Amino acid sequence: MPDNTRSAGPRSRPLILVTGAAGNLGREVVTRLQADGARLRILVRHQTAPRAGIESVVGDLTDPASVREALAGIDAVLLLWPLLDSTAAHDLIEELNAAAPRVIYLSTTAIDDEAVRQPDPIAQVHADMEALLHAAGLHPLVLRSDTLASNTRGWAPQLRLGDVVSGLDIARTAVVDERDVADAAAAVLLAHHEPDQRLYVLTGPEVLSRADQVAQLGAVLRRRLRFQPVPADLARSQMLADGRPEPLVEALIAASVRRPGSDRTTDHIERLTGRPPGTFTSWATDHAPEFNSAPIRGR
């Protein structure tokens, strides 16, 4: 059972809840917090093997009972909302209000603060979640992350078959290493005082297209890789055939078709962590073994 004793005093270690701990980013955040000696609890959908120094609660962000258990005694929570609709978040907001932890919400740079409606469902749900947290008086600290470099892991199966990465194209954006986002999140979660601002925009150092990423990955792997854009209708058929849920497929297509590109880069990761963000080439170099299986050539 979770330890329900809230830490006291400025020198005490806070008890931190990480949601989405099984994902690419969540795992990185947990690793960093553990390395810094934080007291940790994670909310997971399925029971996992016990991990030294980490409490776990099995449940779901849409289940008030498990959320209440996970929030007991918590000082700060990193909130990653996993759904494409914010309607189910109302009970979560009530539980957060009752527990009153510091809330750090991981959002997206795709949000246009001047728009009445966002360009795609993914940006929209994050904008809705930010609005709900603010309206509830929770005063969240929002980390808006750009496209994560780890998204390219989905290319690995294709690269085992050949040198072409095909898929939906996306507009150019400042792709960011998920490890840098995790470092920024950990810095905020462990801070002994509130940061200077309530919104940080976390980007990589360079703006890249999908073709740019493929080319940089190819240079690291010493292979002549190329990107082949797939029309939306064909991409929809392929993703549905692969078993992806239809709402997710439609959201991904909408993001590809409607989301505008961005040339924005910021120094916010450096402000929070004390060092500049890494390049996509550095990420690709560190993760080369995941892509480096020899391609299977057809006869």
Say what the pLDDT of residue 137 is: 96
pLDDT in tens, the chain (299 residues): 444 334 444 347 889 999 999 888 999 999 999 999 999 999 998 877 777 789 999 999 999 999 999 999 999 999 999 999 999 999 999 999 999 999 999 999 999 999 999 999 999 999 999 999 999 999 999 999 999 999 999 999 999 999 999 999 999 999 999 999 999 999 999 987 777 799 999 999 999 999 999 999 999 999 999 999 999 999 999 999 989 999 999 999 999 999 999 999 999 999 999 999 999 999 999 999 999 864 444 33
Note whether residue 85 is domain-resident.
yes
Q: Are 125 and 81 in contact (CB under 8 A)?
A: yes
Token reading at 23: 């994902």
Which pTM was predicted? 0.91
Within 10 A of 57 (CB to CB), how many other CB atoms are there?
A: 18
- Whether residue 92 contacts residue 62, with contact meaning beta carbons closer than 8 Å, is answered with yes
Q: How many domains, in total, are found in the chain?
A: 1
250-254: list long-range contacts, CB under 8 Å, 24+ apart: 250/121, 251/84, 251/120, 251/121, 251/122, 252/122, 252/168, 253/168, 254/119, 254/120, 254/121, 254/122
Domain span at residue 123? 15-146+178-202+265-277
> Domain for residue 141, yes or no?
yes
Please measure the distance between the N-terminal and C-terminal CA atoms of the chain and give it in whole angstroms: 57
Question: Residue 108 is which amino acid?
Answer: T
Number of CB atoms found within 10 A of residue 248's CB: 14
Which pLDDT score, from 0 to 100, does residue 293 have?
65
Residue 257 lies in a domain: no
Is residue 55 in a domain? yes
CATH number of residue 83's parent domain: 3.40.50.720
Is residue 193 in some structural domain?
A: yes
* 21 is a domain residue: yes
Per-residue b/e over 200-222, b at no fewer than 16 CB within 10 Å?
bbbbbbebbbbbebbebbbebbe
The pLDDT, as a whole number, for residue 5 is 39
Residue 74 falls within a domain, yes or no?
yes
Distance CA 277, CA 203 (A): 8
239 found inside a domain = no
d(CA 10, CA 263) in angstroms, rounded, equals 40
